Structure 1
Amino acid sequence: MIELVSSSRCVGCNLCVNACPTNVFDAIPDAPPKIARQSDCQTCFMCELYCPVDALYVSPEVDPLAFVDEAELIASGLLGSYRRDVGWSKGQMPQAQEDMSFQFSKMKR
């Protein structure tokens, strides 16, 4: 579930607002987006994935966390970890060319 929009990291691009399939965020002029409908979050991680500055934290838990400490998320490496883990972080090379699963379609049945 979406837990944090970091006001210190957010650049106001609103990519998270546009990427969210369940309309969890409200865009706020000259401010970070607001988590307006947290209970609608389906924990799809799309907002975290598209955030270019790692300003979002989506918890894999389905219930809201009682307390979210941004400094602790940064220190633990969790802020922006989803983008990094799937290879979308700045400076990472895409790994799609190494994916050989397309060859399954060429196998004789």
Structure 2
Amino acid sequence: MIELILSDRCTNCGACVEVCPVNVINPSASGPPTLARVEECQTCFMCELYCRADAIYVAPDCDRRVEVNPAEIVASGCLGQYRKHSGWDEWAEQFPNNQWLMETVFRRAGEAAAVAAPLLRKSQT
């Protein structure tokens, strides 16, 4: 779930606002965007991918908010790691984007869910 936008790093480009599929980030007339409706965040990491300033931290827990300390997040070096390891922008040559490899995992999960759904419905009746 999105937890943090660092105002001292943010360039106010608005990319995070544009790419958020559930409008969790509001634009601001002056200063960086603000977090709104955070509980609706899908933890899709799109805002992190599109933030070239590495000013956004999305915690991997998608079920609940977690308390974060901005100084600790900066010191941890995790800002921008998702974008880097996904091979975006300046990282394209060093870290090729292998997200497509997840296709097999998603397909197998879908097949397992299709098999389990009738069994689940039957057990609920």
Q: Structures share a fold, TM > 0.5? A: yes
Which amino acid letter does the alignment assign opposite residue 19 of structure 2? A
The offset of 1:92, in angstroms, is 3.9
| 1:14-60 deviation per Cα after TM superposition (whole angstroms, max 9, x unaligned) | 10000000000110012110001101100000001000100000111
Name the structure 1 match of 2:69: 69
> Where in structure 2 are the equivalents of 1:47-62 lying within 5 Å?
47-62=47-62
Q: Does 1:34 align with 2:57?
A: no
Comparing both structures, which one devotes a greater share of its residues to helix?
Answer: 2
* TM-score (norm. length: structure 2): 0.71
Q: Distance in 1 between matches of 2:72 and 2:89?
A: 20
**C-alpha deviation, 1:90, in angstroms:** 2.5
Please report the TM-score for the alignment, with normalisation by the length of structure 1: 0.81
Percent identical among aligned pairs is 47
For 1:35, give the aligned amino acid.
L
Detail structure 1 runs of 4+ shifted over 4 Å in the superposition: none
RMSD value over aligned CA atoms?
2.0
Larger RCO of the pair (alpha carbons < 8 Å, separation 6+): 1
Unaligned 5+ segments in structure 2 are 102-125
Structure 2: how far apart are the matches of 1:38 and 1:71? 21
Larger strand proportion, structure 1 or 2? 1
